[in-house]
Structure 1
Amino acid sequence: MTTPTTSMRGTWGATLVALGDEDPRTVVLDGDLATSTKADAFAQAHPERFLQMGIAEQNLVGVAVGLATTGLVPWLSSFGVFISHRAVDPIRMLVAQTDANVKIAAAYTGVCFGMAGKSHHDHADLAVMRAMPRMTVLAPGDATECEVFTRWAHEHEGPVYLRLARDAGPDLPPGEVAVGTLRVLRDGPDGALVSTGAQTARTLEAAERLAADGLDLRVVHAPTIKPFDDRRLIELCADQPFVVTVEEHSTYGGLGGMVAEITSAGPRPLPVHRIALEDTWVETGSNDYLLEKYGLSARALAARVARLAGVSE
C-alpha cells in the first residue's frame, strides 16, 4: 500500500472545483471552516458560487435547501460533528423529509482528528445518518473512492452524506469502485473482517500481519453504509467461521450493528465481534496514540483479532 498525494478532504475540494467548472449549478456553503475542509479551493476558483455562512450550521442547512429548490446543487461543508449533531434537526426536517437535493460533506470524522479533543470528535454520525429515511450514506476508504463518490453524489438526485477523513492514508488495492457495492480486498478461509472508511486500510494491514502468523482472513470493505448490499454480505460471510467488524465509530448503531442485524437474519447466523469505540468519549492526543489506545491501529487490531481467533499474534 502507498500513501496518496492528497487526503480525502483535499480530494473532495479539488473534485468540487472540477464540478464547478463542469456544472454551473454547483454551489458550496461553508460553516467558517473552509481552510480546514478544503472548501477554500472552490471559493478561490468560483467565488460567486461560494457562500460563507459562518458558525451557524442550522441556517447553513436551511439556505442550502432553498437553493436546491431553484435547481442548484448545493454542497455543505463543515466538520462532521457539527453536521450530524448541531444541525441534525434541520437536516431531518428540511433535507431528509423533503428529499432535498442537498449534498453533505462531513470532514474530520472518527478518531483521527489529532489534538482537537472530545468536543470535535465525531464517532456517532453513521448511527444518526443511516437511521434517517432517504439519506444515502457514503464512507470512502481512500482518495480514489472519495473522488468517485463525490462525483456520484453530485449527479444523484436526493440527499447524500459523505464521511471524510482529515489526513492522507494508505491507498486501498485497485478495483472497481461503485456506490452500493462491497469490495473484497483480501481473501481467506479463516474468518472475515468487515470494515469501512479510512479504517479499512488499517484493517487490511492487520490481516496481512496475521497472515504471516498463519491466520488467513478475508477483508471486506464497505464504503457504502446506505444503501447496503445485504445479500452480498451474507454470501461473503456464509463460509467463514466468524465475522469481525472494525470501524472508527461507536459500537452503537454503526457498521457493526448493521452487520449483526443482517447476518442474524441469514440462513446461518454467525457470531459477529464488533471492534469500535466502546461507549466512551475520545481523549485528546495524536492520531497514532488514539488509534493504539482504542484498539484500532493495525498492530492493536491484529492482536485483538488473534485473541478472538484463539491464536497468538
Structure 2
Amino acid sequence: MSEVKKIATRDSYGAALVELAKDHPDVVVLDADLAAATKTGVFKKAYPDRHFDCGIAESNMMATAAGMAAMGLVPFASSFAMFAAGRAFEQVRNSIGYPHLNVKIGATHGGISVGEDGASHQCCEDFALMRSIPGMTVLCPSDDVEARAAVKAAYAHQGPVYLRFGRLAVPVFHDEANFKFEIGKGEQLTEGNDVAIIATGLEVGEALTAAEQLKNEGIQARVINLCTIKPLDEEIVIKAAKECGAVVTCEEHSILGGLGEAVAAVLGEQCPTKMRRVGVKDVFGHSGPAWDLLEQFGLRSDAIVAAVKELV
C-alpha cells in the first residue's frame, strides 16, 4: 500500500498565492518578517514587486493592507496566527472589519501543532477572536487540496477573510480532480448514523482515523468537514444531529469560542442534541514535538474515540 502524501497547509498557502497571481494582477502579499515560515517567500521570489515585508510590525501591516484594499488591490496579509489574530486584533477589527474591506488574512502556525515554539506562539484563541468580528469569514482547511481551493475562494469572496493554516505536514485525502469548495458549505466524508464527528483543519484527518477505529467496534460514524467556521453550515449540522442523535466536535483550538461552541449554539437553539467537544481545554500549551503535544492535549484520534464512546 502506497504511503499517504503529507503536506503542511502553510506550504499550500504559498503555492496558491503564486497560482492566483498569474491571472490576477491585483493580488499583493504582505508579510511581517516571516516569509520563510509562512511560505510567502515563494510568492516573493516569483513576484518581488508585489510582495511587501512590513517587518515585525503586524498591526502596521494590517493597516497597510486596509489601505491597499481601499485602493482596489486584494492584499493577503500574512503572519503567525498568534500575531495576525492576537497582536493585531485592534487593527483587524477597526481598520479591516469595521469598514468591511477586502483584506485576506493568511494566518499560519495555528494551534498546538506549532510544537517547539511553545505557548507564546501556539494560538488556540484565533477562531474565537475572528468569529467575534462582524462580517468576518473564518476558514480552516484540512489538507493541501482544500487549502489551495480556500485561498482562491477567499480571493473571489468580497470582504474580509481569515484563513488559518498549519505548520505540521498532514495527510492529503481530497481528490483534487473531483473536489469542489464553497465558502459556507460543509462536507460529509463518511456515512454513518450512530454519531456525527464534526471537525475542522488538522482534526479532520484524526476524525477519519477515529471513524475507522469505531467502525471496527461496530459504531458507524459520520465524519463532517467544516472548513468554514463562520458562516457555519447550519443545515449540515442540524441534519447530522437529527439523523445521528449525538455529535462530537473536534478542533485544534480552545473548546471556548471556536467550532465546538458554534455548533453547540446552533444545536442549542434549533435541535438540542447530546454532544462533546474535543479541543484544547482551558489551558495554555507548552513546548514539545507536535504529535506528542497533540496526544497530550487530547487532540488525536483516540481522544475522539473516547468522546464518542461517552455518548454512544
Q: Which residue of 1 aligns with 2:23?
A: 22
Say whether the 8 Å CA contact 1:3–1:169 is kept in structure 2.
no
**SS where residue 265 of structure 1 aligns?**
helix
What displacement does 1:231 show?
A: 2.4
Say whether the 8 Å CA contact 1:135–1:159 is kept in structure 2.
yes
Counterpart CA distance in 2 for 1:272 and 1:304 is: 9
What displacement does 1:43 show?
A: 0.7
With structure 1 as the length reference, what TM-score do the two structures score? Answer: 0.95
What displacement does 1:211 show?
A: 0.8
Q: Which amino acid aligns with 2:300?
A: S
CA displacement 1:37-80 (0-9 Å, x = unmatched): 10100111111111111100010011111111111111111000
Q: Which residue of 2 aligns with 1:66?
A: 67
Say whether the 8 Å CA contact 2:6–2:171 is kept in structure 1.
no
Q: Which amino acid aligns with 1:219?
A: V
Q: Does 1:204 align with 2:205?
A: no
**Pairwise mapping of residues 48-127 of structure 1 onto structure 2 (< 5 A)?**
48-127=49-128
Q: Does 1:255 align with 2:262?
A: no
**SS where residue 113 of structure 2 aligns?**
coil
What displacement does 1:273 show?
A: 0.9
**SS where residue 102 of structure 2 aligns?**
coil
Counterpart CA distance in 2 for 1:308 and 1:287 is: 28
Counterpart CA distance in 1 for 2:33 and 2:290 is: 24
Q: How many residues align?
A: 308
- Aligned-pair identity in percent equals 39
What displacement does 1:173 show?
A: 4.3
With structure 2 as the length reference, what TM-score do the two structures score? Answer: 0.95
Q: Which residue of 2 aligns with 1:132?
A: 133
Q: Which residue of 2 aligns with 1:191?
A: 195
What displacement does 1:275 show?
A: 1.1
Counterpart CA distance in 1 for 2:156 and 2:186 is: 21
Please state which structure has a larger fraction of its residues in helix. 2
What is the CA RMSD across the aligned residues, in angstroms? 1.4
Q: Does 1:278 align with 2:281?
A: yes
Counterpart CA distance in 1 for 2:19 and 2:274 is: 45
Say whether the 8 Å CA contact 1:137–1:227 is kept in structure 2.
yes
Counterpart CA distance in 2 for 1:127 and 1:141 is: 18
CA displacement 1:114-164 (0-9 Å, x = unmatched): 200000001010011111101111111111111111011112211100010
**Which consecutive aligned stretches of 4+ in structure 1 deviate over 4 angstroms post-superposition?**
none
Q: Which amino acid aligns with 1:65?
A: A
Counterpart CA distance in 1 for 2:216 and 2:32 is: 46
**Pairwise mapping of residues 286-305 of structure 1 onto structure 2 (< 5 A)?**
286-305=289-308
